[in-house]
Chain A
Amino acid sequence: MEAAAVLLSLAMRDTEHPVADLCNALSRIGTSLTELRERAAACGTGNLPKSIENDVAVCIQSLQFHDRLIQQLAAVRGLLASVAGESPDQLSGFGAHRWEEMLESLRDRLDSDSKHHLFNVLMKTGIVDVQGQPNLQAAEGSVELF
């Protein structure tokens, strides 16, 4: 358990610099695009192809899944570390009560009602059957003004 937690930490750390480099590159591309747009407007040479801006937007949106993955891995690492930190006496009682505690920790990580629903379905049947259920990704990217 402890080794697994350490391995996760190392894997997460390995991605830090490359992702930071990628973010910096995206920021620079964004800045360059702004400058080019302003220059083009000043010269009256027309607009930049919208496809470039769309591609940058796709990169920004997709890169956010890395952040989500890191958050989930950090939660898994925390769970592993908590189990590894328990004494053999405590582990011998690794029964229904402990199982419920871990399930509760996992439920806390779920970020939408639909994921809670799917989690409950999986825990009951072990089968993913979301036919007729709300779209699990429906909330992603949503905006709600109060």
Chain B
Amino acid sequence: MPRILAVDDSPSMRQMVSATLTSAGYEVDQAEDGVQALQLAGKHRFDLVITDVNMPNMDGITLVRELRGKPNYKFVPLLILTTEATSERKMQGKSAGATGWLVKPFNPDRLLATIQKVLV
């Protein structure tokens, strides 16, 4: 099954994303900010990364930009899962190289459907 990296500074959000994905059979690793996520992404090859935007040390938009700069992650789906929904922020995410933008609170079925869609 695909391996997914879930990035969020909130432990409860990480757990909820992780619970949703593992129940669907995905293997899930967790990181609490962009810096930790980049380190993990350097060690392992993830099939998809789903990240929050507002996090300490490194935000999600920067993380997406950094990952897109790496050859291994040029074509890997990078999803942003955030409470932010302004057009301006979405455009920043798109410019950084995000595959999609999901607004919290996420619906588990919808999240899984989106992941299936972008992993194809």
Interface centre among A19, A70, A139 (most CB of B within 10 A): A139
Q: Which of A29-37, A88-96, A118-126 contacts B (4 or more CB under 8 A)?
A: A29-37
Residues in chain B near residue A144, CB distance under 8 A? 90, 100-102
Q: Which of B5-13, B35-43, B67-75 contacts A (4 or more CB under 8 A)?
A: B5-13
Q: Out of B11, B18, B83, B118, name the residue touching A111 (CB < 8 Å).
A: B83
* A 123-142 contacts with B by CB, 8 A: 139-142
* B 98-120 contacts with A by CB, 8 A: 98-110, 114, 117-118
Residues in chain B near residue A113, CB distance under 8 A? 85-87
Q: Out of A19, A56, A145, name the residue touching B12 (CB < 8 Å).
A: A19
Interface centre among A31, A70, A112 (most CB of B within 10 A): A112
Name which residue of chain B comes closest to A110, CB basis: B86
Known: A65-B105, A146-B98. A71 touches B83 (CB 8 A): yes
A70 to B75, CA, bound (A): 35
Residues in chain A near residue B84, CB distance under 8 A? 111-112
A64 to B14, CA, bound (A): 11
Known: A20-B11, A57-B109, A113-B87. A143 touches B16 (CB 8 A): no
* B 44-85 contacts with A by CB, 8 A: 54, 82-85
- The binding surface of chain A is classed by DSSP as helix
Name which residue of chain A comes closest to B87, CB basis: A113
Known: A61-B105, A139-B85, A143-B110. A26 touches B11 (CB 8 A): no
Interface centre among A20, A24, A63, A145 (most CB of B within 10 A): A145
Which B residues contact A (CB, under 8 angstroms)? Answer: 10-13, 15-16, 18-20, 22-23, 25, 54, 82-87, 90, 93-94, 98-110, 114, 117-118
Show 14 A/B contacts (Cβ-Cβ < 8 Å), sorted by A: A20-B11, A23-B15, A27-B18, A30-B23, A31-B19, A57-B109, A61-B106, A111-B83, A111-B85, A112-B85, A141-B105, A143-B101, A145-B114, A145-B118
Which A residues contact B (CB, under 8 angstroms)? Answer: 19-20, 23-24, 26-27, 30-31, 33-34, 56-57, 60-68, 70-71, 111-113, 116, 139-146
